[in-house]
Amino acid sequence: MKRMSLIISVCAVLVALTFVLGWIPYIGPFLLPTLFAACCLSLGISFFASTMFGVISLLFCYIVGPTSAIGWFFLEYPFVPIVARMFIGPIIYFFYKLLTKLIKPKNTAAKIAAISVAGAAGSLLNTVFVGIFLFTLDISAMPAGLKLLPWLPQVNFGLMELVVAGTLEIFVNALLLPPIVLGTKRAVPRLFMEINGGRRKGKEDMAEGKE
């Protein structure tokens, strides 16, 4: 019962943080709660966080309106931001597990490097998945003025925006994720022991935060 209450509380915090960070456009922190969950928490929470990331990004299109080419695209195909993003958390969860198993980071520098790579990979996945939908689906609902080359609809300001924002996201998340992950594990190590379940896993999280 206590563990379930903690999980619900952490999920609520992740949703709230995703919503707050969503007001900061183009520079990447919108994805940070999902990446944090993938590096620190369980597979289920990672899936929940990335799904909510997609839902909230769609919600923002309705709250503030389509202020960008990608916003117009999301309004035309509202399933895209959810489907394209719901598996980012689980993929990065397994990627980070594999990465740490392969390189076995022992010192702080190695841990920072592993978390940075996971953060960059998550940002890249976000850009690639949305880009795949942008290329494969009809974007006729996008205003004609936003199209870069009318004779080639797929090459548009939506693609340019995606590349620029995606590049910024990679650097921002790779920079911000390591101190957040390691700092949180150091500050509240028992929280991870309770949520992730298992004494061994909890001790690993505590040790990672201390080093």
CA 12 – CA 39 distance, rounded (Å):
18
What percent of the chain stands above pLDDT 90? Answer: 43
pLDDT for the residue 83: 94
**CA dist 103 to 89, 95, 113, 120, 168, Å?**
21, 12, 10, 17, 27
Alpha helices, DSSP H, located in 77-188:
80-83, 88-103, 108-136, 157-187
> Amino acid letter at 26?
Y
pLDDT digits (tens, 9 = 90+) for 87-122: 999 999 999 999 999 988 888 899 999 999 999 999
The C-alpha atoms of residue 88 and residue 54 are separated, in whole angstroms, by 10
Higher pLDDT, 4 or 81: 81
What domains appear along the chain, each with residue ranges and CATH number?
Answer: 2-210 (1.10.1760.20)
> pLDDT tens across 176-206, in order?
999 999 999 888 777 777 777 754 454 555 4
- The model carries a pTM of 0.82
- pLDDT (0 to 100) of residue 14: 92
Give the tens place of pLDDT for each residue, 12-33: 999 999 999 888 766 668 899 9
**Average model confidence (pLDDT) for the chain?**
81
pLDDT at 145 over 60: no
Averaged over 36-59, what is the pLDDT?
A: 93
Q: What share of the chain is helix, strand, coil (3-state, %, to 5)?
A: 80, 0, 20
